[in-house]
Structure 1
């Protein structure tokens, strides 16, 4: 049996409004996107989420089924959540959300090789406390935890509260990734790079920061590397960071590195190069559509 991953958090539908006025609907949500990325790269992946019995819910279930992700019902959700993404002329997305997060039951992380949490599911009440408890339990039992804050100020608590939650979750996580936009929100006047160093000092074996079209930064202990991003024609940036994180976690599992407590510069560079290549494929096509393993091998 191959490695197994449990992902916990929101599953929703991205309603994308393009500059020309066209509208498209794609399944999304950061944990869902990470789950799809990992499953498409050969990981036995389970997503615990709240998905309604409605048209958007049907879209999500069909998408997960096509990608090989097992969906576990975390409790009744009412209508399936949505995120309206408005795309500007450069392909960047801004979001408005309509969802709730109140899981009533979550799987035992001991049944999996890795637990990943993040985004809205990690800091939107009332479910955030259940996620934090799950992460602490996994950490206490010595299991690997991945975390991506994926900050959304329109839904989150006040920044000081959000910042402390991010630090608390990072301290119980082995692999942490954030974007430079996340870091700017959490920086309290400092630089995004200073936030990465702070998170790395909380105890993760690997901390990383993506910076859009600029190089990604990966840090482990005293080792830090920058990995250039391939230049591609951008359809939109939806799911780019989630693809990056899902690819990183899949690589760690497939290489048998998920229990590592540190990485050298060459290993960081290898991991980063695969992650940026996968992310570049995602931004080259509409919506959160991560590559399959064969596509990465071809790259």
Structure 2
């Protein structure tokens, strides 16, 4: 099975705490790039359709991705590789200030991978003009023969006018079979609404499964037949950079090969295992600096330990 991920790469510049004397750290990032990297770390065949400049940040990111086995297809070359200054609070939670342009060229997906089994889109690339139009067009072109996943990964400073941003996100939701969002995403998109109610409404737009992550409070999954919640594994947090992307990679790995109909018929037990395994991947990631998702051996060990603790070991 092959995955095609369409979206941005970003150089994450993690600021050192004030007065610490430590240097800033530069990590390869960008939500879609992190998902592709996480899939490759799990041994999956994955191509990332993206944009990178031939500059130090671009070369750093390219080496990081290809070192894990990600194939990179370029849909245009920007003047400089996008970047984000990442600030961390006392709990390791990240905030971002972006310098990014997204101008993906039409037709690029056809050249990137002629026959993917699954397409993943999300984040800045799915809603930022002019490249977002290409992302949606290419996804729509492929949708009849592949499954599609989407993670809005909301960045408010890049979303523009709120009502238009919500409409763009919901167009992506309607294209997708599987959607993952954080409770923070939903709070910005639909302030004051219950995340479960938003997830239920998104189900009516087309997806078979909607997943919502809630940080240390765990996650839940919603289908037309089941609503399942799971706790988060206990972990000492270094930072939260890439946690949601690691969760997404583990979800896609776990569900690899499921067609559109099968996704809608996942049992409550299968959904619980899915949440536990994806939560374990996120826990490994937050236990170390930067977007460093687990490989398969690390994920299997972390999931087995969490399943034993939660009483869901097989």
Tell me, yes or no, whether TM beats 0.5.
yes
Q: CA deviation at 1:216?
A: 0.2
Give the drift of 1:134.
1.6
Aligned partners of 1:252 and 1:258 also within 8 Å: no
After superposition, the CA RMSD in angstroms is 1.3
- Residue 36 of structure 1 corresponds to 37
- What's the CA shift string for 1:21-59, capped at 9, x where partnerless? 631000000000000011111110000110000000110
Corresponding residue for residue 226 of structure 1 = 229
2:117 is matched with: 113
Q: Are the structure 2 counterparts of residues 258 and 39 from structure 1 closer, same or farther at C-alpha, using a change threshold of 3 Å?
A: farther
Report matched runs for 1:83-162 at 5 Å.
83-104=84-105, 105-108=107-110, 111-139=115-143, 141-162=144-165
Distance apart, 1:6 and its partner CA: 0.3
In structure 1, the gaps of 5 or more residues are: none
Q: Which residue of 2 aligns with 1:190?
A: 193
CA contact (8 A) 1:217 1:224 kept: yes
C-alpha distance in 2, partners of 1:89/1:258?
42
Contact in 2 for aligned 1:110/1:138 (Cα 8 Å): no
TM-score by length of 2: 0.91
Deviations 1:106-150 (A, max 9, x none): 2236510000000000001111111111222222x2420010000
Does 2:199 align with 1:201? no
CA contact (8 A) 1:244 1:278 kept: yes
Q: Judge conservation of contact 2:87–2:94 (CA < 8 Å) in 1.
A: yes
2: CA distance, partners of 1:21 / 1:126: 41
Q: Deviations over 1:175-216 (max 9, x none)?
A: 100000000011143222222111122121111000111020
Contact 2:104 2:132 survives alignment (8 Å): no
Secondary structure class of the residue paired with 2:255? helix
Alignment partner of 1:95: what SS? strand
Stretches of 4+ aligned residues off by more than 3 angstroms: none
Secondary structure of 2:85 counterpart: strand
C-alpha separation in 2, matches of 1:18 and 1:214: 27
Q: Work out which of the residue numbers 267, 270, 277 in structure 2 matches 1:264.
A: 267
Q: Helix, strand or coil: the match of 2:201?
A: helix
The residue aligned with 1:175 is 178
Taking a change above 3 Å as real, the CA distance of residues 188 and 297 of structure 1, as seen in their structure-2 partners, is closer
CA–CA distance in structure 2, aligned partners of residues 127 and 113 of structure 1: 23
Contact 1:187–1:194 (CA<8 Å) still a contact in 2?
no
Length, aligned pairs only = 294
Q: Point out the more displaced range, 208-217 or 104-113.
A: 104-113
* Ranges in structure 2 where 5+ consecutive residues have no aligned partner: 303-314
**SS at 1:61 equivalent:** helix
User: For residues 69 and 173 of structure 1, do their structure 2 counterparts lie closer, same or farther at Cα, with a shift above 3 Å needed?
Assistant: same
Q: Distance in 2 between matches of 1:118 and 1:27?
A: 17
TM-score of the superposed pair, with normalisation by structure 1: 0.95
Task: Kindly indicate whether the alpha-carbon contact (under 8 Å) linking 1:18 and 1:88 is maintained by their aligned counterparts in 2.
Answer: no
